[in-house]
Amino acid sequence: MAEFTVTGLRVVREAARGGSFTRAAERLGYTQSAVSRQITLMEAAAGQALFERQSRGVRPTDACRIVLRHADAVLDALDAAREELRTPLPPSRIRVGAFSTATAALVPRAIVAASRRSPGLQVRLREGTSAALLSALTRNRIDLAVLSGIAELPEGLEAAPLLQDSLFVAVPPGHPLAAAAGVRPSALREESWIVGSADPRTTLLGAWADPAWEPRIAHVARDWVAKLGLVAAGLGITVVPGLAVPALPPTVSIVRIDDPAAVRPTVLVYRRSGLAADHPFAEALRDSAAELGAELRQRLRP
């Protein structure tokens, strides 16, 4: 089956711009027969005519205009990639991936610290899910990944621990638990919950809760701003990772969960053949993790 090709898209675009296969051949440095052959292949891929042949040139069809709209995006992206490849990447640039709550305080602090130590260092941050970041790391799209709760790693990747992230619950300021230093899970059984998924196994609840317990879910919201807004309005409580605590608004109160299982390991993942765990940015991450961990332990004190 015929398929669209980069060469064919360029030929179609030039023929449409110039209104002539001959002009397209001149602009691209092709023979007219080569241009005609490419147009024929592109029309086969489109399944319909792309040009109306006229006595004094050609005119794009409606189908051609659809192809052109997408061709511009594809060709412009390829041109940008070619231009970027002409400029060697600076040796001081590092691409870092992190899960969302790690970008609240841990990773930003590490970026600031690493930039102070190495003024020429450029950090490009990518936020995403653990699965997406592991795939990006394996495919060399990022150099390091800050992930949470990873049990198994793909071949070629290694992990170094950063910190054990304690879990908290966010409650409305007027909630009976708002002034408490900590709370046992059993005291949370009758609460209404704001969760990221209707399936408790896919939320932080599964990290410490009794599997026989069915939480009473009041609202489902994936976005942290929405979750905290619902909590502040008194519509339920939600689990909050310790990494997110420094960035929380004053409209909610934070209470630690007094349970040994109410933690999530946060790790630095890297390729064995890529940047090592002793890279300056990795060192800044470890220092920031230690600093953040000390702050959280201070908060955990009765």
pLDDT in tens, 8-24: 899 999 999 888 998 88
Instruction: Please report the pLDDT score of residue 231 as a whole number.
Output: 95
Residues of the chain with confidence (pLDDT) below 70:
1, 87-91, 200-209, 274-277, 299-302
Alpha-carbon 82 to chain mean position: 24
Instruction: Please report the pLDDT score of residue 233 as a whole number.
Output: 94
Other CB atoms within a 10 A radius of the CB of residue 88 amount to: 7
The pLDDT tens digits for 68-103 are 999 888 888 888 888 777 765 555 788 999 998 899
Distance of CA 263 to CAs 129, 195, 208, Å?
A: 18, 17, 8
Instruction: Please report the pLDDT score of residue 85 as a whole number.
Output: 75
CB 215 within 8 A of CB 205: yes
In the chain, domain spans: 6-86, 93-163+264-300, 165-263
- In the chain, helix, strand, coil percent, each to 5? 45, 25, 35
Instruction: Please report the pLDDT score of residue 87 as a whole number.
Output: 63
Beta strand 182-183 with 253-257 is parallel
Hey, what are 281's tokens? Answer: 């940015």
Of 153, 170, 165, 98, nearest to 129 by C-alpha is 98
Instruction: Please report the pLDDT score of residue 107 as a whole number.
Output: 93
Asked if domains 93-163+264-300 and 165-263 share a fold, the reply is yes
Hey, what are 141's tokens? Answer: 């799209």
Instruction: Please report the pLDDT score of residue 212 as a whole number.
Output: 74
Instruction: Please report the pLDDT score of residue 205 as a whole number.
Output: 62
- Please report how many Cα atoms fall inside a 13 Å half-sphere around the Cα of residue 88, on the Cβ side: 3
Of 85, 54, 166, 121, nearest to 275 by C-alpha is 121
165-263, superfamily in CATH? Answer: Periplasmic binding protein-like II (3.40.190.10)
Classified by CATH at the fold level, domain 93-163+264-300 comes out as D-Maltodextrin-Binding Protein; domain 2 (3.40.190)
Report residue 134: phi and psi, to 5°: -65, -40
**Which helix (DSSP H) or strand (DSSP E) does residue 111 occupy?**
helix 106-117
The pLDDT tens digits for 55-72 are 888 999 999 999 999 988
CB 59 within 8 A of CB 52: yes
Hey, what are 298's tokens? Answer: 């201070």
Instruction: Please report the pLDDT score of residue 93 as a whole number.
Output: 82
Alpha helices in 3-61 (DSSP H): 6-18, 21-28, 32-46
Instruction: Please report the pLDDT score of residue 299 as a whole number.
Output: 64
Does the domain at 6-86 match CATH 1.10.10.10? Answer given as yes
Instruction: Please report the pLDDT score of residue 201 as a whole number.
Output: 59
Instruction: Please report the pLDDT score of residue 204 as a whole number.
Output: 63
Hey, what are 212's tokens? Answer: 């026989």
Alpha-carbon 18 to chain mean position: 41
